[in-house]
């Protein structure tokens, strides 16, 4: 973990936060605690000098063959694993929300926070988890691609969606560290 990263608690007093996305701001300030109380997601906050740099929330999920409309992409996922018996799904952690305060949106804070997520699920992970998945807003796809995420194309019904399903193979990250 990086200095200043804290887990959201019931008694946390929110400081000013604005990432210029009303949905993410609203979730963080009004819903994150209830998601955590309901055991649906855990939120982490990065603070520096008394200011909120950013936050993310994570929950358990899976990456599965039904998610992929492009069979060659699913083959790439399962071929990354050394086991002869193939499964139709693999454990994943889902980044449900990820945002950086407007003031800190330059300087690499987002990538450093993303690397913290990757590291925490490779070192000291309490459950089996090979992949990170995210339903990336289309305006954020470039950020996720720069951080090693790959789109997992889905069926045509979601082509007009505001998000794209993307994944990151933690096996690749663990070999680098």
- Say if CB 94 and CB 61 are below 8 A apart: yes
Domain ranges of the chain: 5-176
pLDDT digits (tens, 9 = 90+) for 6-24: 999 999 999 899 999 999 9
pLDDT of residue 54: 96
What is Dmax (Cα atoms) for the chain? Answer: 51
pLDDT digits (tens, 9 = 90+) for 64-95: 777 665 566 666 676 677 665 667 788 899 99
Tokens of 22: 């009303």
Question: What is the average pLDDT value for the chain, to the nearest integer?
Answer: 86
> Which residues are within 8 A (CB) of 144 and not within 5 positions of it... i.e. 6 or more apart?
134, 136, 166
pTM reported for the whole predicted model: 0.85
pLDDT at 102 over 90: yes
Could you give the dihedral angle defined by the CA atoms of residues 35, 41, 97 and 47, in that order, rounded to the nearest 10 degrees?
Answer: 90
pLDDT at 36 over 60: yes
Percent of the chain predicted with pLDDT > 70: 82
pLDDT at 107 over 90: no
Domain spanning 5-176, CATH class: alpha beta
> Does residue 35 come out as left (phi exceeding 0), alpha (psi in the -120 to 50 range) or beta?
alpha
Mean pLDDT, rounded, for 52-71: 83
Confidence of residue 154 (pLDDT cuts 50, 70, 90): low
pLDDT of residue 157: 46
């Amino acid at each position: 973990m990086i200095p200043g990263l804290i887990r959201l608690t019931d008694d946390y007093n929110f400081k000013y936060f604005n990432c210029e996305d009303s949905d993410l701001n609203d979730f963080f300030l009004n819903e994150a605690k209830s998601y955590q109380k309901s055991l649906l997601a855990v939120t982490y906050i990065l603070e520096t000098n008394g200011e909120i740099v950013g936050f993310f929330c994570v929950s358990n999920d899976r990456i599965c063959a039904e998610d992929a409309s492009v069979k060659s992409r699913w083959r790439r996922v399962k071929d990354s694993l050394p086991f002869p018996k193939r499964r139709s799904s693999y454990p994943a952690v889902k980044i449900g929300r990820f945002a950086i305060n407007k003031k800190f949106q330059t300087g690499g804070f987002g990538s450093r926070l993303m690397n913290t997520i990757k590291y925490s699920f490779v070192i000291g992970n309490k459950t089996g988890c090979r992949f990170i998945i995210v339903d990336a807003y289309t305006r954020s796809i470039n950020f996720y691609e720069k951080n090693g995420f790959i789109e997992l194309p889905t069926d045509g019904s979601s082509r007009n969606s505001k998000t794209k399903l993307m994944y990151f193979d933690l096996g690749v990250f663990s070999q680098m560290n």
